[in-house]
């Protein structure tokens, strides 16, 4: 009996029925070609959204063209939000002015355009339950 249960569980896991894994491709447009890198931060919950420590995955893509693409792989079903910025001066951070507004191109999933503050997770989350793509146009470059 134990062997049958284990075999059934292995079969379910192999077929992906219990733990579906999806790819999520993110295209960033409005990139300044030849200037630094585009950084991607992936989040899966409200708590800690936009804190570097709360990112569940990150990526860095050389800014060779006016658009770049990165694909996050093997994500389980869920809600995800993306924050991106182009580090044009290659100092490893998103530079900001005296009031905290980014001085390098940045953006969020759903092309959220901040008014007085950064978005909250619910404003930019995307439900992933299959292969998905999104495009983000950089703001303020």
pLDDT > 60? residue 18: no
Q: How many CB atoms lie within 10 A of CB 137?
A: 15
> pLDDT (tens digit, 9 = 90+) per residue, 70-103?
999 999 999 999 999 999 999 999 999 998 889 9
Give the sign of the dihedral formed by CA 86, CA 82, CA 73, CA 46: positive
7 or 99, greater pLDDT: 99
Residues in the chain: 141
Ramachandran sector of residue 64 (left: φ over 0; alpha: ψ -120 to 50; beta: rest): alpha
Write down all domains in the chain, each with its CATH number in brackets: 20-137 (2.60.40.10)
β 132-137/21-29 pair status: parallel
* % residues pLDDT > 70 (the chain): 86
Q: What is the pTM of this model?
A: 0.84
First-to-last alpha carbon distance for the chain, in angstroms, is 63
Please check whether residue 96 is in contact with residue 50, taking contact to mean a CB–CB distance below 8 angstroms: no
> pLDDT (tens digit, 9 = 90+) per residue, 45-62?
999 999 999 999 999 999
CA 82/CA 93 separation, integer angstroms: 16
3-state secondary structure of 5: helix
Please check whether residue 90 is in contact with residue 112, taking contact to mean a CB–CB distance below 8 angstroms: no
């Amino acid at each position: 009996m134990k062997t049958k249960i284990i075999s059934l569980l292995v079969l379910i896991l192999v077929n992906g029925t219990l733990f579906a894994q999806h790819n999520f491709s993110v295209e960033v447009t409005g990139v300044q070609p030849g200037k630094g890198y585009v950084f991607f931060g992936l989040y899966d919950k409200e708590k800690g959204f936009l804190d570097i420590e709360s990112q569940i995955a990150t990526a860095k893509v050389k800014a060779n063209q006016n658009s770049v693409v990165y694909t996050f792989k093997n994500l389980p079903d869920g809600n995800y939000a993306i924050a991106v910025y182009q580090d044009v001066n290659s100092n490893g951070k998103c530079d900001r002015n005296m009031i905290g507004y980014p001085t390098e191109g940045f953006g969020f999933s759903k092309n959220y355009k901040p008014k007085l503050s950064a978005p909250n997770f619910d404003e930019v989350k995307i439900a992933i339950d299959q292969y998905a793509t999104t495009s983000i146009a950089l703001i303020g470059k």
